[in-house]
Amino acid sequence: MRKDGVLVLLLVFSILIMLLPSMTVALRSQSKTTDGFSAETTPPDTIIWETIGSPDNLDPHVDYEAFGAWVLFNVYETLFTYPFNSSDTTPSIPLLAEDLVISEDGLGYTFSLRQGVTFHDGTPFNASSVKYNFERVMKIFDPYGPAWMFAEAISGGQAVEDAVYGYGNGSPEHAAAYDNWKANSGAIIVLDTYTVQLKLAHRWAPFIAAITCEVGAMMSPTWVEAHGGVQYGQHNTYVDEHTCGSGPYVVSNWTRDSTIKLDINPLYWRTASARAEFPHAGEVNHVLILTNDDTEARILNVSSGRTDACYWPVTHSVGVWNGLNGSSGDGTRKSSNPNLKLWCQEPTYSVSFIGFNLNPYVFSSVGTVQNPFVVKALRESLSYALNYTSFIGQAVNGLGMPGQGPIPKGMFGHNDSLFMYEQDMDMAVQKWNAAMAEGLNGILANMSYRIDLRYRGAGENAARPCMTIKNAIADILSDADTIQPSQPLVVEVIAVQDMYLPFDWEKLFMLYPTGWMPDYADPDDYVRPYVMSTGYYATRIGLAVSEGWNSTLVDGWISAATEELNPASRIALYGLVQDAIVNQCAYFWTYQAENFHVESTSMNGYVFNPMHEPYFYYYWKSTGTVTNDGFWNPVSAGVTIASIAVIIIVGTAVIRSRRLAG
């Protein structure tokens, strides 16, 4: 930067430091008013939370995205849930169920239900409610929703699913299959008022985990029937926008892309028992979730006390993270801002992979050509050449850990001793030379010594996986010991828009970047799509046809692990699966994302869990003071020059005055 530029920057910073208090006051005067109070006069029983985007809808049986799941987790309840005070994702806590007995053959699940539970409209919860809700899932069966998680396991459910995906939900075939399932499958049997039995089509170990997701949420049958009932293959527009569960909160207002208001359920059935363990349970009576797509404004609002929490992206981590590693403690340990709490570096279950296309032929600018990635030594070479630390730094600002196979760290079944590739250019060159000895040069000649790496979308983020591979190839070729192709190799990174989907379905791309968040907390939800030969991503990359892969053997391990109810036996089987897919070098296991969660210091009760966002019922607020008239002192906070740059950006955003991509 030129000297005069530095002087201008220092002058701007000096002016901003002087103006920040008055800017904050001016900003506060423009605060939204909701239900008669502004954010600055928020009562202690109210939380104001800013984020981005909006739920698709509020029906847990059809909604299939993270924002809606967060809201619905606070409104609806399932038969079992996760521990409330830890990051444990075992669905081991009876919620609407009191007890469960699994039959000796693993097919019968008999639930004893809680008595005295009522829905928000006063309707009693009982075994008939469970039957009604699961039948509702199957009758609507949104093909883009979570119904498959229940249908594929329950007795007779596969026929209903096949009709939906073969002919469409709401089709005559769907209606006929559903009617037959309901009448003849014996899948859901009400044994008495508070006992219900579910029968599975086959042993399926993840069943409880699957119905702990929102697809297993219970809503009032009386309320649904009073507002349009259930129609074959159709959303109920009223239920899409309103709620009536048994949980601690009710959605009292939803303005799409603006505001969601949650109010406490004053007759919540769990109040007394919850307070015995969590004395502050139920102290938050109102939650306002506000949509604000302006990152700098969200950051300033929570920093100045206008809001209580916000979605703070990892790209702006320097503005609050002091760089400490290890435990986040109570949220104050890693925060450079005395007004904020920060939890970060806890491993989530969100993972990023890049799949090699393993099919014999791929699309190139010179036509359909032989695929160089069928040579395993080339895949190994690139795996050693990849700079994983740099990739994580660019993709998630360093808040991620290198991937270690398909099952994320922290989840049941993960093998922490599994082999991991690290950047090793000597090994990268050695494997490249082995690939050349195995015929790579001839394949490159068939491609006219040109590799086209296509990606969907626009911008640096979309292009990053392909650019990373291009750079890895360049690093290998620049080594003096590398056996060079007979002609100079050209690697092009090309954006594709209109023709992406046809190319995708025809498996003509060389690389398949992908990310994955779990539907249910079980390794089956990862190995089935990525490793089983019929899985979504395994099919795309051509895993079954790749040299050295034994689909019969590995698919057998996956199926056996799915049906095995003994945890130790399941872990052993998943160990075999993970070893096989890592040894095949079919994917770059690029990174597993880490948590980054920011709240005001007045907030208490947050516990990180990879399977759900904050649970408001256990929150409470303490009285706190915002320093510097609503803005923290960057000098006393000990922030870096980079942090000051973020403050400048935030300040200028005030003067000038979605949803996280998967």
What is the C-alpha to C-alpha distance for residues 467 and 453, in angstroms, rounded to an integer?
Answer: 8
Kindly report the average pLDDT of the chain as a whole number: 88
Q: What span, in angstroms and rounded, lies between the C-alpha atoms of 590 and 396?
A: 11
**pLDDT tens digits, residue range 617-658?**
999 999 754 444 433 333 333 333 333 333 222 332 222 222
CA distances from residue 167 to 135, 145, 164, 357, 641 in whole angstroms, order as listed:
19, 16, 5, 31, 60
Cα–Cα distance measured from residue 193 to residue 118, given in angstroms and rounded to the nearest whole number: 14
Q: Which CATH architecture has domain 348-593?
A: Roll (3.10)
Q: What are phi and psi of 142, to 5 degrees?
A: -65, 120
Confidence grade of residue 503 (pLDDT, cut at 50, 70, 90): low
Residues in the chain: 662
What is residue 485's DSSP assignment?
P
Nearest in space to 612 (alpha carbons), one of 93, 105, 193, 234? 93
How would you classify the pairing of strands 309-310 and 587-600?
antiparallel
**Strand 450-456 relative to strand 490-496: parallel, antiparallel, unpaired?**
parallel
pLDDT of residue 504: 59
pLDDT the model gives residue 572: 98
Alpha carbons within 13 A on the beta-carbon side of 130: 28
User: pLDDT tens digit string along 325-345?
Assistant: 999 999 999 999 999 999 999
Q: Which element (helix H / strand E) includes 250?
A: strand 249-255
Backbone angles phi and psi of 327, in degrees to 5: -65, 145
Q: What is the CATH number of domain 66-242?
A: 3.90.76.10
Distance between alpha carbon 353 and the CA centroid of its chain, in Å? 14
Of 131, 147, 133, which Cα lies nearest the Cα of 62?
A: 147
- Contact call for residues 631 and 302 (beta carbons, < 8 A): no
| Average pLDDT of span 274-287 | 97
Q: Would you state the pLDDT for residue 20? A: 38
Q: Which long-range contacts (CB under 8 A, 24 or more apart) does 166-172 make?
A: 168/143, 168/233, 169/140, 169/141, 169/142, 169/143, 169/232, 169/233, 170/231, 170/232, 170/233, 170/234, 171/233
pLDDT at residue 366 in the model: 72
Q: In degrees to the nearest 10, what's the CA dihedral of 394, 398, 403, 404?
A: 150
Which DSSP category does 511 fall into?
A: E
pLDDT 10s digits, 106-139? 999 999 999 999 999 999 999 999 999 999 999 9
Are the C-beta atoms of residues 400 and 348 closer than 8 Å to each other?
A: no
Report whether pLDDT(661) > 50: no
CB contact at 8 A, 353 and 526: no
Sheet hosting strand 108-113, strand order edge to edge: 97-102, 108-113, 195-199, 188-192
- Per-residue pLDDT tens over the stretch 430-488: 999 999 999 999 999 999 999 999 888 777 788 999 999 999 999 999 999 999 999 99
Question: The tokens 């019968």 sit on which residue?
Answer: 108
For the stretch 284-328, pLDDT in tens is 999 999 999 999 999 999 999 999 999 999 999 999 999 999 999
DSSP 518: -
267's CB contacts (< 8 A; 6+ apart) are: 118
Residue 161 has pLDDT above 70, yes or no: yes
pLDDT score of 510 more than 60: yes
* Extents of the domains making up the chain: 66-242, 348-593
Residue 399 pLDDT greater than 60, yes or no:
yes
**How far apart, in whole angstroms, are the C-alpha atoms of residue 615 and residue 618?**
6
